[in-house]
Amino acid sequence: MGMSSAFAADGDLNANLAPVALNGVEGSGTAMVKVQGTMITVTMAASGLLADSPLAAHIHFGAEARNECPIAADDLSADGTLNTTEGGPAYGPIVVSLTKTGDTSPASGLAVERFDTAPGGNLSYERGSIQVSEEEAQAIADGKSAVVIHGVDHNDSGAYDGDVMSDLDPALPAEATDPALCGVLSAAPVGSMATGAGGAASTGTDSGVLLAGTGLLLAAAGTGAFAARRASSKA
């Protein structure tokens, strides 16, 4: 679709990132997206992830998708875990690859060397001036997309390994691409951007305004992961 001079998608959205069903993750996080025309700025923080390994992260959208995060019933292979393909009907295909540098298109969906890692299990990410199509910008602004962080540790080895290979790339273990955290983007209150920590941060045109909230996002993500661990220990 060609660029329209009248096109002006605009909005501030956030997503609470929660563990994907069946995949054994106890982390949590928050993502914030600012849409301005066909440019977006993304700020994301999460904790409880596999430490010091690259974590592929994307914005997903599909016109035919359910616009939600996957549930246990999506495990069509009945192997007790959910891979990216099984999650597809819920969140749709990749529309933005949240790489640190370079290309952000779906073609970089598995550009392992350009995704962030999570020192100590904590991920902190911010990138602005990401170009998307008009359709993608409108879908994000309308709350019809989801943020997914991939990378799990099914066997608790502390690394991506195991005998099961990825449904996306047979050269990679499934642990490297199975979804870990997911959250549907929804509109933040008018004139503010929810931080996920019980408050709101003022919005602005500078991506630094979003980045200023990353500390709060990490604190909120850490609180969520702690609560999940406590709940798990009491189960």
Give the model's pLDDT for residue 8.
81
Mean pLDDT for the stretch of residues 104-128:
97
Please report which confidence band the pLDDT of residue 224 belongs to, taking 50, 70 and 90 as the band edges: very low
Q: Is the confidence at residue 105, as pLDDT, over 70?
A: yes
Q: Which amino acid is at 105?
A: S
Q: Is the confidence at residue 233, as pLDDT, over 80?
A: no
Mean pLDDT of the chain: 85
Q: Is the confidence at residue 48, as pLDDT, over 80?
A: yes
Give the model's pLDDT for residue 189.
67
DSSP 68-91: S---GGG-TT-SSS--HHHHHHHH
Query: CA–CA separation, 103 vs 35, rounded Å?
Result: 18
Instruction: Answer yes or no: are the C-beta atoms of 224 and 28 closer than 8 Å.
Output: yes
* Size (the chain), residues: 235
Query: CA–CA separation, 140 vs 42, rounded Å?
Result: 12
Q: Is the confidence at residue 49, as pLDDT, over 90?
A: yes
Q: Is the confidence at residue 229, as pLDDT, over 60?
A: no
Please report which confidence band the pLDDT of residue 5 belongs to, taking 50, 70 and 90 as the band edges: low
How confident is the model over 127-184, as pLDDT tens digits? 999 999 999 999 999 999 999 999 999 999 999 999 999 999 999 999 999 999 999 9
Query: CA–CA separation, 76 vs 73, rounded Å?
Result: 7
The pTM score is: 0.82
Give the model's pLDDT for residue 4.
54
Instruction: Answer yes or no: are the C-beta atoms of 152 and 193 closer than 8 Å.
Output: no
Please report which confidence band the pLDDT of residue 228 belongs to, taking 50, 70 and 90 as the band edges: very low
What is each CA distance from 78 to 72, 73, 75, 86, 142, in whole angstroms?
A: 9, 9, 5, 11, 33
- Helix/strand/coil for 210: helix
Smallest CA-to-CA distance from 10 within 137, 103, 123 is with 137
Least confident of 10-19, 37-46, 165-174, 188-197: 188-197
Give the model's pLDDT for residue 196.
34
Q: Is the confidence at residue 75, as pLDDT, over 90?
A: yes
Instruction: Answer yes or no: are the C-beta atoms of 26 and 229 closer than 8 Å.
Output: yes
Instruction: Answer yes or no: are the C-beta atoms of 228 and 181 closer than 8 Å.
Output: no
Domains present along the chain, CATH in parentheses:
10-234 (2.60.40.200)
Cα 203 off chain centre by:
21
